[in-house]
Amino acid sequence: MGSRAAGGGEGWGGQGGDGREEEEEEEEGGAEGPPAQCLFCARAFGGAEEVFAHCSAQHGFDVREAARQHALDFYGYVKLINFIRRKKPTAEYLKSLSSPVPWDGEEYLKPELEDDLLLQFDIEDVCEPANMCSNGLNDTTVLEQLKCAEHRARLAEAALARAQEDLQKMKQFAQDFVMNVDVGSSSSSNAIADLHEDEDDVYFSSYGHYGIHEEMLKDKVRTESYRDFIYQNPHIFKDKVVLDVGCGTGILSMFAAKAGAKKVIGVDQSEIIYQAMDIIRLNKLENIITLVKGRIEEVDLPLEKVDVIISEWMGYFLLFESMLDSVIYAKDKYLAEGGSVYPDICTISLVAVGDMNKHADKLLFWEDVYGFDMSCMKKAVIPEAVVEVLDPYTLISTATVIKRINCNTASASDLEFSSEFTLTITMSTKCTAVAGYFDIFFEKDCHNKVLFSTGPWCTKTHWKQTVFLLEKPIPVEAGEALRGKITVRKNRKDPRSLFITLSVKDTKQTYSLQ
């Protein structure tokens, strides 16, 4: 998919049927030029017009209509052609796009094919109707051009309105920032959200790398549980329309398609979706699965309602990354009456840990570091929740559920909560930490129910467990009821991360998970 060097930038000048092409061929001794390559398949043709006709008839993508729809100038048209050649999106994906378009980057000005005849085609010819008279324009042509001009004007007006709105938001943000308004106010919350848009981009960028998807796909507990739920309950998917939120490589979309779904829409903001498009085509499922790049909150889907929503949205401690918010948004906007979200039930549990060796390794280490006292580092170490695989032999209590989420009825406000809990101690020792994990259930309307756990007693998953280290170990006795309270809330400066406040006996500590 890498770019190849251009065969000469001067060849980009338009040659749209005005005789210049024949003159250049005569100057070069009448040698035939390279064939024009189709945008979607391996076929080649004698000219750009033939390619456009083939793309429209065989692949359902009208280049002229796309140019009109997005009001493309010459450079916009060049970027569109190079984007299609480089990223190889489906025609359905291209037709589903609205502003902003994904080929806006300057990198798409570089030709993907040497001597690409489509790049030597005048954009004005692309936008003009084909119905021309030998002696000039007929009435139909003039009418079409007027419609095209009117459409461009509407697009320009809409772009101006968006720019004015963005400018107003920037002014408001600057005023709020200078005046140091209360962070609890609505306008300040919006300003903070705007300020951290870059962090959101970093989050999606991290999912553009294949390594994280390889790790998730190789997590058999995760992937096989989804596969078993879908394949063992095909009645849920047969002839249904399915939405896959955060589709990644498209594995869940393909499971759903194989289970009999009539149509599957996969949505993902990260760059991995372009590899997913290749995967879908490689498995000959492009007639069932349509992939859309963008945030589910911002994209325009090619349908109004879906029957089933599937998503693998879970993060550390279940709620880290806040992707469940996106699933809830999709549910509220796109799920048809009587439809279902899967997984449908999720629980978060806590358990007490007694591991003095680990406690010493994490904290006492700082008291003597190569002869130097660094004990002040403890204050920085303790508030950071640790994601690791626990030794089940260090668990010193029964587990207790602190939160149950029904994804079919949940709202965004349910994802911040407080819960009192009791841990029944199973041995006399010292409690050095409290750990959290989650369980996932596929139950609604299932003939064959499926569940999996990320608990320390079960097969290891990439989610591991989340450990909240206590600064001072708490002595406990077998049979004791260790009571506490936990509060989970989003970090207002980075809503994908969490603040977790834990109170146990006389100790209270706030931890960050980021």
Confirm whether 480 is a catalytic residue: no
Give the integer Cα–Cα distance in Å for 257 and 85. 27
Of the listed 24, 28, 321, 384, which one is catalytic? 321
Structure token pair of residue 179: 């005046």
First and final C-alpha spacing in the chain? 34
Catalytic residue among 24, 312, 420, 471: 312
CB contact set of 80 (below 8 Å; sequence gap of 6+): 63, 66, 67, 70, 72, 101, 103, 108
How far apart, in whole angstroms, are the C-alpha atoms of residue 340 and residue 233? 13
Q: How many helices (H) and strands (E) does the chain have?
A: 16, 17
Following DSSP, what letter does each residue of 112-161 receive, concatenated? SSTT-GGGGS-HHHHHS-S--BTTB--HHHHHHHHHHHHHHHHHHHHHHH
Give the C-alpha separation, 500 to 174, whole Å: 31
- 452's torsion region: left (phi>0), alpha (psi -120 to 50) or beta? beta
Taking alpha carbons only, the member of 454, 474, 479, 472 closest to residue 464 is 454
> Under a CB-based contact definition with an 8 Å cutoff, are residues 417 and 490 in contact?
no
What distances in angstroms separate CA 462 from CA 97, 393, 453, one per listed residue? 34, 20, 12
Active site residue 197: no
What gap in Å lies between CA 112 and CA 129, rounded to an integer?
Answer: 27
Closest CA to 273 of 112, 96, 497, 41: 96
Rounded distance between C-alpha atoms, residue 345 and residue 408, angstroms:
8
Backbone angles phi, psi at 443, to 5 degrees: -130, -40
Strand 44-45 with 36-37, pairing:
antiparallel
Report helix angle 220-232 to 210-218, nearest 10: 70
Q: What is the helix (H) or strand (E) element at residue 273, kind and residue range?
A: helix 272-282
How many residues in the chain? 514
Q: 276-303: buried (b, 16+ CB within 10 Å) or exposed (e) per residue?
A: bbebbeeeebbebbbbbbbebeebebee
Other residues' Cβ atoms within 10 Å of the Cβ of residue 162: 12
Mind telling me the catalytic residues? 312, 321
